[in-house]
Amino acid sequence: MSKPSLLERLAQGPVICAEGYLFECERRGYLQAGAFVPEVVLEHPEVVVELHRELVHAGSDVVEAFTYYAHREKLKVLGKEHLLEELNRRALALAREVADETGALFAGDLSNTNVFAPDDASRTTVRAMFEEQAGWAVEAGVDYVIGETFSWGEEALIALDAIRRIPRFSDEVEKATARYWTAMERHKLYISEYGEDMPEIREWRWSASQPSPPEMP
């Protein structure tokens, strides 16, 4: 039996996507933040798999592939462009492994490029990078693709368009986008009238099951 889609899960309530792989892998000594690419997926795949499992155990509904900064321009700057496809495909495979064993949603990831500028040459370069990564994500069988950490609104819209152009996601992207703007408008009107967040925001509580505390001797 197929697992519920992202939109089906959202219809039932909040969907949690826990991540932070960069900072946690740095804390554990497997990479250094800054001018990095996530080579840990190639050098220590067991660390990434275990981190995926820990996040699902903590309550995440989604396993997100660790492809943050794994785009062509970033790898080119660091002289590691030859790792581009292998790194992306490996990160996606590790995430899918844990998503399949836990029943969590499996997400690809597009992130800020740090090369975007409001000119045609930059737009073309950024779009090509996003389409390249989105293509590998689709081939890996992701349930959806996340776009994150954009400083430029236009860059975020290019990422969204690259996702929208994936044939099997086009309808879902339109539905999710409409759902988002409807919720934003509803929330804005509520704040204008009452001066506070809606009850569903104010009263939300973390509901993930927690392991039982150890018995005292």
Q: Is the pTM of this model over 0.75?
A: yes
* Amino acid residing at 187: H
Q: What is the pLDDT along the chain (217 residues), one digit of tens a residue?
A: 578 988 899 888 889 999 889 889 989 988 876 667 788 999 999 999 999 999 999 999 999 999 998 999 888 888 889 999 999 999 999 999 999 999 999 999 999 998 999 999 999 999 999 999 999 999 999 999 999 999 999 999 999 999 988 887 877 778 888 888 898 999 999 999 999 999 988 887 766 554 444 444 4
Beta strand 144-148 pairing with 105-111: parallel
Query: Quick one: DSSP state of residue 168?
Result: G
Nearest CA-CA partner of 97 in 135, 39, 56: 56
- For residues 59 and 69, the answer to whether their CB atoms sit within 8 Å is no
